[in-house]
Amino acid sequence: MREPVEVCVSACEAYEYEKVRAVLAEQFRLLKADEVIRPGMRVAVKPNLVTRSTPDESAVTHPVVICAVVSLLKEMGASVVIAESPGGPYTPSLLKGIYEQSGCAQAEQYGAELNLDCTWGELKAPEARLCRSFSVITPLLEADAIVDVCKLKTHCMMGMSAAVKNLFGSVPGLMKPELHCRFPEKEPFGTMIADLCQALHPVLSVVDAVTAMEGNGPTGGQPRHVGALLASRSPYAVDLACTTIIGMDPESVYPLRSAMDRGLCPRTADDLVWLCEPASQFAVADFLQPESKSADFITRLPKFLQPLAARLATPSPKIRTAECIGCGKCAESCPQHTITIRNRKAVIDYTNCIRCYCCHEMCPKHVIDIRRLSLFRH
């Protein structure tokens, strides 16, 4: 094991600043955060600000959690910058809008700098399995340490979005679709995400699971109260804990599966060391899974039939045309350029669609559904 396997899971029923801060302060103490965060360090806090969204929609890390983390890091003597590259173009004006709408701008009151430097550089990944070089936004490249402050959500392509998947936001703007093109299948894409996480090496990972997102996440699902905050010095271990909470098989979360294959975390949450409460105490039995979750029966078919069945069973993005405003965000984010705007409506050419669901993720009006053939619906 290269990473520690200690995980903190604590009850936190509401986004009340003093309560959130107290819970995180105890978790940081138990995790010996002062071993990795030292006075004078430049620390980049990487939240999940995937798109322009309000905190109540549960698509972004809640600002109270971000502010509490910033306050604790400042107390430890660090200088703090909030660093994120949401979906779409990576520009100062778009960043400002997302900081404001998400509530993240409040972090300035606690001493954080909001990054508006939209440059990037190259990050080498010598230990990678698949992708040995990444374009990464400058504040993350220049930081002495990265603290990953994510949101617990389902994810239509990767199964779950938490600490590991959150780091895909380190890739600048419209360079993300390029990686979708290079790695269109789920398993290689998950391996690439694990490569990126390993190269960035966040020293602390905090998961906002006070209210999570269930269903067709990471932006089109529904809020679901969980009432927990999680933290670990291992992004892989904390993600493994999250799968217990949402009732998801860790093997079905592709970046986590790749991490387990490398020995970066155990294969079962039973092998984690719980410093507070076990994740099982916060398990939500009926947590709604993404519509894109593979049909279980496929693995029971003869192997020669499995590829065809998997293709048929994999849902496709479907636009509710009457509600589409023709903004073009889906076309802008599509790696394969299969979406065009005709008569102020988005149209998908499914010939080259790779089912990455970027269009679903980036639609500001949430009018793109994930649907599978009726034969394969549960």
Query: CA of 262: how far to CAs of 86, 130, 207, 239, 301, in Å?
Result: 28, 12, 23, 15, 28
Token pair listed for 39 = 């006075």
CATH number of 296-376: 3.30.70.20
Residues 17, 5: Cα–Cα separation, whole Å: 28
Query: CA of 341: how far to CAs of 64, 68, 327, 344, in Å?
Result: 38, 42, 8, 6
Element housing 203 (H / E) = none
Task: Identify the architecture of domain 6-282 in CATH.
Answer: 3-Layer(aba) Sandwich (3.40)
Please choose, from the candidates 177, 190, 136, the residue with its C-alpha nearest in 3D space to the C-alpha of residue 358: 177
The predicted-structure confidence for 292-306, as pLDDT tens digits, reads as follows 775 545 555 666 665
Q: How many CB atoms lie within 10 A of CB 130?
A: 17
Q: What is the pTM of this model?
A: 0.91
Domain layout of the chain by residue ranges: 6-282, 296-376
Q: Are 358 and 177 in contact (CB under 8 A)?
A: yes
Residues 157, 374: Cα–Cα separation, whole Å: 20
The predicted-structure confidence for 180-234, as pLDDT tens digits, reads as follows 999 999 999 999 999 999 999 999 999 999 999 999 999 999 999 999 999 999 9
Q: Would you state the pLDDT for residue 376?
A: 46
Strand 204-214 with 145-155, pairing: parallel
Q: Would you state the pLDDT for residue 304?
A: 64
